[in-house]
Amino acid sequence: SRAYSLVDSSQVSTFLISILLIVYGSFRSLNMDFENQDKEKDNSSAAGSFNGNSTNNSIQTIDSTQALFLPIGASVSLLVMFFFFDSVQVVFTICTAVLATIAFAFLLLPMCQYLTRPCSPQNKISFGCCGRFTAAELLSFSLSVMLVLIWVLTGHWLLMDALAMGLCVAMIAFVRLPSLKVSCLLLSGLLIYDVFWVFFSAYIFNSNVMVKVATQPADNPLDVLSRKLHLGPNVGRDVPRLSLPGKLVFPSSTGSHFSMLGIGDIVMPGLLLCFVLRYDNYKKQANSDTCGAPGPGNISGRMQKVSYFHCTLIGYFVGLLTATVASRIHRAAQPALLYLVPFTLLPLLTMAYLKGDLRRMWSEPFHSKSSSSRFLEV
């Protein structure tokens, strides 16, 4: 009963939603890889091209330098939001709303494709310089714009969560970690970043910088616009201040408090899970090409059947549960990555070592010798 009292319904909702977002985003990412491979095959058969980057322009791969400097850039952004929030809040709100609109449209796209498939062809409609779009893409974008407008008018936490979910899925799907080395650099740096700004920033800035930035509401752009244009005292005055979609929040069963989890605590471990899912699929294809070659002799067959994705996902759940229990015990905000990073990276590194895949996963695991030899022959 003591353990049960440390986790209420809001935490359970956070657990389930964050895990579903990571799983869904990882499989969307894998599906995008399959689609890109099919396009590359079609392009190479039609035009004799072997340039694999032609269909991956929208996908961003993080290298070692970016992984090292990303925590520094995040720290600078956090300080800008802490010191100059009143000056940049409107611009930041508008930029966040635009990004959330695009991300939520991406989240809705599979459902819209399913709905429009029976009644309309998948031909693209031209909009001049704006580009060409299918009916499903137009429908998903229209629904996303409508949701953002309702969120701006009402400021409801459920709509903010929906936009945050879209941001999580889009970031997991469009950002890649190329190797375990880059994954360790990125997550270790972000762990230090999270711990410093949650535990030690108060000693320097007399305030918990991370918590203040995450919980500070912004002025509604409609209210600011009405004041700038002098539209009258009653225009735009009833709209609420907006809590920006940089986190997931769920109310407790009593409504006395909200459980909060930043999208960085979902996206960054989600990128690691996306990487191991791609590696599981790559290894499965490699084993099928080599007629199911057995693994190292000191590893049992049952151990070989355990996927890296399931192992890391279980570690993420245990780390999230540990972070929640720690926050309830200490009655203070906890840096979630302090618990998520060890519980995801350490089991993954241990399993990779035992399976004999650690050296391959550490550096360029998806670059096969066969592809390089084919490039030389061409």
- Which active-site residues does the annotation give? 194, 265
Contact present, 168 and 25 (Cβ < 8 Å): yes
- Classify 250 as helix, strand or coil: strand
CA–CA dist 166, 158 (Å, integer): 13
Place of tokens 């890296």: 308
Residue closest to 107 by CA, chosen among 189, 169, 26, 14: 169
H or E segment and range at residue 126? strand 125-126
Which sign does the torsion angle of CA 64, 66, 70, 72 carry?
positive
| Cα→Cα distances 295→298, 303, 341, Å | 9, 10, 28
CA–CA dist 43, 372 (Å, integer): 19
Place of tokens 């509401």: 217
Contacts of 180 (CB under 8 A, 6+ apart): 275, 348, 349, 352, 358, 361, 362, 363, 365
Quick one: tokens of 232? 């009258």
